[in-house]
Chains A and B, each alone.
Chain A
Amino acid sequence: MGDVYKLVTPLTENDIRKLNVGDIVYLYGVVYTARDAAHKRIVEYINRGEKLPFNLSNGVIYHCGPVVVKEDNSWRVVAAGPTTSMRMELYEHEIIKRLGVRMIIGKGGMGSKTVDACKKHGAVYTIFTGGAAVLAAQAIKRVIDVYWLDLGIPEAVWVFEVENFGPLTIAIDAHGRNAIDDVLRSAAEKRKSFVQLSTQHFYNIEHRELI
């Protein structure tokens, strides 16, 4: 735990399987942004058996709605920090399974469906520092392409060429471990030892009883 890697896209299953929670990765190559609306549309394509206009096999998805400006017919990225990943939990396992995505980048943590898919299909979920939007923009060297602009600038799929993109800390590895979940479980245990009271002090209004 705690090793530092430089990885280049396209990623191989071998690249991914050697990573453990707590390791740090700096990424070189290509990442595809996708948030709520793009995830929904990707899964709709999959369900219809339709081919996507871009190839995510051995690729990287970044949960990000960037601030971009158009200058002289090309796009410039101003700020591109991660958005909260949990909203994509509903779709991500399907995308990992069906499209062979190797790495998801976001913030805030993901759930058990994503953990299972990462383990089974050889993928990882990594955390880019939340709020570090300028640092992220600096590591984006150019906008290669953009798809689905009809979804709006933040929701479109942006294809970024990145260099030294990180630090990305491994929060879900391909061995079934979920670092943030473990940290919060341990925090809940500690809370019990800090506070001797039972949880009898708050009304649960829906059930009209103490919880």
Chain B
Amino acid sequence: MFCVKSNANVIYMNLNLRESMVKAVVDGLRKAVVYLPIDVKNALKKAYEEESSLAAKAHLEAILKNVELAERLGAPLCQDTGIITFYVRLGARFPGIQYIESVLVEATRKATVEIPLRPNSVDPFTGLNSGDNTGRFVPVIIWDGVNLESDSLEIVVVPKGGGSEYVSTLYMAVPSKGIESIEEAVLDAVIKAGAMPCPPTIIGVGIGGTVDLAMHLAKKAATIRKIGSRHPNPFVAELEEKLLRMVNDLGIGAMGMGGKASTALAVHVEYAYRHPATYPIAIAFQCWAARRAFITIKPDGSYTIEQ
């Protein structure tokens, strides 16, 4: 244990922790915008191998080259570094809880200058761009659970671009036809989205719950869940596989130029119990540049970043 001599010392130690937290989040953001997670890279390589359409293949090749170049140069792999979302999983015994919100805002500002990130935070009424990726409710901070036993802070950072966000869709199906409507809803959303979300995409489908929960589940399924992971519910796992086959059979292909193997890399479905009178089906798209990082910060300020 520490031997704390005065209050000043306590503040000094906590300030060190706060500084480490800012550094951890800036590093996490850098890793997320420069390096594509390995599961996404492998899925893109597989799509490239399986794709027979010449135009789609040319775009997939360009994507793979771009990913390599970004890594080599340490540059953001896409110029649209998005609106930043943080999912915070709190260890109840983590000593820096009081700093979290201010740390996330400060780290976003710092990362915008240092990496750099494109300033994307705009007042919806005046059109004014804050210039530093912060603003009212932005960056988005989602409190995503508390672990009473843990003394670590876990933050998932998701910088998601505007092109894939633009085509998000929410359907309120007639409950008696709800389950039959899922395939229809997903296929319609994919056709409506067309080439706009930069296919190949990862499609997140949130079923049931309240409207906000349905979209929350869809968003997490699209952005955080790793490609190749299987849903624990076998019915859902089968539905995911069937939906992925159907979506790719639509033949939209990489960048919408036609192709049988590169409309989507994965379909991830998540669900919650619903009200008898409602059947929400939320669909969120993640572009091929599926950027994410998992940051874990220990009480002493040391941290690890995974993807």
Contact = CB atoms under 8 A, between A and B. Distances in A.
Please indicate whether A and B come from the same complex rather than being unrelated chains: yes
Interface stretch (A9-17, A47-55, A114-122, A176-184): A176-184
A108 B289 CA distance: 15
A191 B161 CA distance: 27
Contacts, number: 169
Given A190-B250, A195-B187, A201-B181, A134 B75 contact: yes
A135 B180 contact: no
B173 interface: yes
A191 B55 contact: no
B128 to A, nearest CB: 12
A67 B118 contact: yes
A140 to B, nearest CB: 12
A144 interface: no
Nearest to A138: B69
A107 interface: yes
Contacts of A84: 163, 166, 196
A74 interface: no
B17 interface: no
B15 to A, nearest CB: 32
Contacts of B196: 84, 86, 108-109
B47 to A, nearest CB: 13
A171 B191 contact: no
A73 interface: no
A187 B252 contact: yes
Contacts of A137: 75
Contacts of B66: 129, 131-135
B38 interface: no
A22 interface: yes
A72 B249 CA distance: 52
B76 interface: yes
Nearest to B59: A129
Contacts of A78: 75-76, 79, 116
Contacts of A69: 116
Given A132-B63, A134-B77, A169 B183 contact: no
- Chain A binding site: helix, strand, loop or mixed by DSSP? mixed
B171 interface: yes
B88 interface: no
A189 B183 CA distance: 15
B199 to A, nearest CB: 9
Contact of B54 (A2, A65, A66, A210): A2
A66 B166 CA distance: 20
B75 A22 contact: no
B63 A131 contact: yes
B133 to A, nearest CB: 13
B5 interface: no
Contact of A169 (B172, B198, B255): B255
Give the top 3 A-B pairs by smallest Cβ distance, nearest first: A130-B198, A79-B79, A132-B66
Interface of A: 2, 22, 24, 65-67, 69, 78-81, 84, 86, 107-109, 127, 129-135, 137-138, 154, 166-167, 169, 171, 179-180, 182-184, 186-188, 190-191, 194-195, 197, 199-203, 210
Interface of B: 54-55, 58-59, 61-63, 65-66, 69-70, 73, 75-80, 116, 118, 161, 163, 166, 171-174, 177, 180-181, 183-185, 187-188, 190-191, 194-196, 198, 246, 249-258, 287-289
6 contacts: A86-B196, A108-B194, A108-B196, A129-B66, A179-B55, A202-B172
